[in-house]
Structure 1
Amino acid sequence: MKSESLQASVVNDLVLLSCVGLRPILVHGGGPEINLLLRRLGIEATFVDGLRVTDAKTMEVVSMVLVGKVNKNLVSLIDRAGAKAIGLCGMDGRLVTARPVPNAAKLGFVGEVARVDPAVLRSNVEAGYIPVIASVAADETGQQYNINADTVAGELAAAVGAEKLILLTDVAGILEDRNDVSSLVKEIDINGVKKMVAEGKIGGGMIPKGSCCVRSLAQGVKTASIVDGRVPHSLLLEILTDEGAGTMITG
């Protein structure tokens, strides 16, 4: 999604899907934009198991980029493409209540989803809006947390009873051999994902993706897919064709 043309392509596909009767909800992160601003401020970006270590200064940057720049840009793109969008974050309407991750001593203000109240989503979807959600939320005291966007998407998908969860990323999908793109796994079930994680075949940033797919499926979402967002119209290919555009995970 670093490419403006790819952003426009994804947004146009999203709008098309909404026009033919689907009701999409878009959850986003903003890793490249966050990294860029951190570099400008002289703050080093550090990751542990695919999650960004987030101290107080980094949390300010994350909130500024996600809730401000990225969210507003996506809402504007959707509006210009002919649909109605509304920008939200986890703190709006108590959509997501956060809690610190178990290893908060290492990760800082990195959170996980403690609770979801989808009321604000349902009302906006029923009114014809495409919700665009930044993956920032607060705990009961108001402390903000950076939550992995895939994790938020998975929990929201379960909370609204979504038919399908799709994660757009910059890899082909789950690979049997991480160094061989031709080893793409087209379809796998929950147990297969768990086995690949245990064997170390799924690592780094793919760990939270695989985990959130497993959790959402366990909570009733019918299928989850990890899709290569660099491929033009991969969203349409995944939803509208038998071939798909990545890895589909089933219960």
Structure 2
Amino acid sequence: MARAMTKITSATTYTEEEEKGWATARTLAEALPFIQIYDREIVVVKYGGHAMGEEATAKLFASDIVLLKLLGIHPIVVHGGGPQISAMLGRAGVKSTFVDGLRVTDNATMEIAEMVLSGAVNKEIASWITRAGQEADVRGVGLSGKDAGLITVEKATRVKKDPDSMIEQIVDLGYVGEPKQVDDKLIRTLIGDVNHDYVPVIAPIGVSDEGQTFNINADTVAGAVAAKMEAKRMLLLTDIIGVLDENKELIRQLTVTEARALIESGVASGGMIPKLETAIAAVEAGVEAVVILDGRRPHAMLVELFTEHGAGTLIKAG
């Protein structure tokens, strides 16, 4: 790469571009303590359907994942794809219903969900990572929970109260599963390969003991993988800034106890409840901390991991 030549004297005034170079150097120096904290540690990143955004956003995400790998971190990507599934179901004329944020999944829906998640979305994310890391030979490897018995599931059920009779009823979600077991051998083989820099990219599809394919909530998969891999951090990239208090202000840090209190008081509602529940379960299973942050903001992961103030809401043990 060609370099501009500047004659250095005691009276030299640097150009705007040169000042940017000095600013970059200062940023790298300030990040050093945090880089050392995460050296050779595992970071599980849940890349949500809404956080995927446009192509430019996807490229930035892939570049940041490559940077994490080159800094000595082992990133593992677990992705969703709800909006993409909904779009494909709409084109196929298949209507969706949801219970507690989970898509009721019949045979037709399951076929489309697997096609979208394990096919188009998974391979596209893996491809973006490979392209972003081609100069350094960092490669995204697309997987689903069905590969090498990665994720064994059991059928998920939900209980709802009838608002009139207050009688609890079991709701059949169809082919929606919850992780029962994560077999980490394949993931550890990939990230432990000293000759290659592989980044596992996992689609939230699993299989039961009987061989039936199930759709799984991607947050839940990320939590299960992070727990099994004893991750240093789990990052839940979504389309909101983080957890908000009753005044709609960002909460920078929560204990598990405080997170539960937000759910019980109703301050946390809607889609934030399952995210907090996933974070709580992951922390209690051994993950050091979980962070909920806005994946649409460029370099949100880098700000979270390598700066003192972070970028979202961090949940850890009390």
TM-score bracket, normalised by the shorter chain, equals over 0.9
**Could you tell me how far 1:40 is from its partner in structure 2?**
0.5
- Residues 122-161 of structure 1: pairs in structure 2 closer than 5 A: 122-127=188-193, 128-161=197-230
Tell whether 2:141 aligns with 1:86. yes
Query: 8 Å contact 2:157–2:172 — kept in the other structure?
Result: no
Match of 2:115 among 64, 68, 84: 64
- Equivalent residue, structure 2, for 1:38: 89
**Whole-Å separation in 2 of the counterparts to 1:204 and 1:135:** 21
Percent of pairs with identical residues: 43
Query: 8 Å contact 2:64–2:302 — kept in the other structure?
Result: yes
**Could you tell me how far 1:205 is from its partner in structure 2?**
2.1
**Whole-Å separation in 2 of the counterparts to 1:14 and 1:227:** 16
Report the structure number with the largest CA radius of gyration: 2
Query: 8 Å contact 2:157–2:173 — kept in the other structure?
Result: no
**Could you tell me how far 1:53 is from its partner in structure 2?**
1.6
Q: State how many pairs are aligned.
A: 248
Q: Normalized against structure 2, the TM-score is what?
A: 0.76
Tell whether 2:184 aligns with 1:184. no
Match of 2:260 among 172, 194, 199: 194
Deviation string 1:76-109 (CA, Å, 9 cap, x unpaired) is 1011011211111111111110001132733211
What is the DSSP-based 3-state SS (H/G/I as helix, E as strand, rest coil) of the residue aligned with 1:12?
Answer: helix
Match of 2:183 among 104, 108, 117: 117
Query: 8 Å contact 2:78–2:203 — kept in the other structure?
Result: yes
Query: 8 Å contact 2:122–2:202 — kept in the other structure?
Result: yes
CA RMSD of aligned residues (A): 1.2
- Equivalent residue, structure 2, for 1:25: 76
What is the DSSP-based 3-state SS (H/G/I as helix, E as strand, rest coil) of the residue aligned with 1:74?
Answer: helix
Structure 2 CA distance for partners of 1:161 and 1:10, relative to 1, 3 Å: same
Higher mean C-alpha deviation, range 44-53 or range 238-247: 44-53
Tell whether 2:274 aligns with 1:243. no
What is the DSSP-based 3-state SS (H/G/I as helix, E as strand, rest coil) of the residue aligned with 2:74?
Answer: coil
What is the DSSP-based 3-state SS (H/G/I as helix, E as strand, rest coil) of the residue aligned with 1:26?
Answer: strand
- Equivalent residue, structure 1, for 2:292: 226
Match of 1:9 among 60, 81, 91: 60
Query: 8 Å contact 1:47–1:53 — kept in the other structure?
Result: yes
List 4+ stretches of structure 1 deviating above 6 A: none
**Could you tell me how far 1:244 is from its partner in structure 2?**
1.1
Gaps (5+ residues) in structure 1? Answer: none
- Equivalent residue, structure 1, for 2:282: 216
Tell whether 2:168 aligns with 1:102. no
Q: Normalized against structure 1, the TM-score is what?
A: 0.95
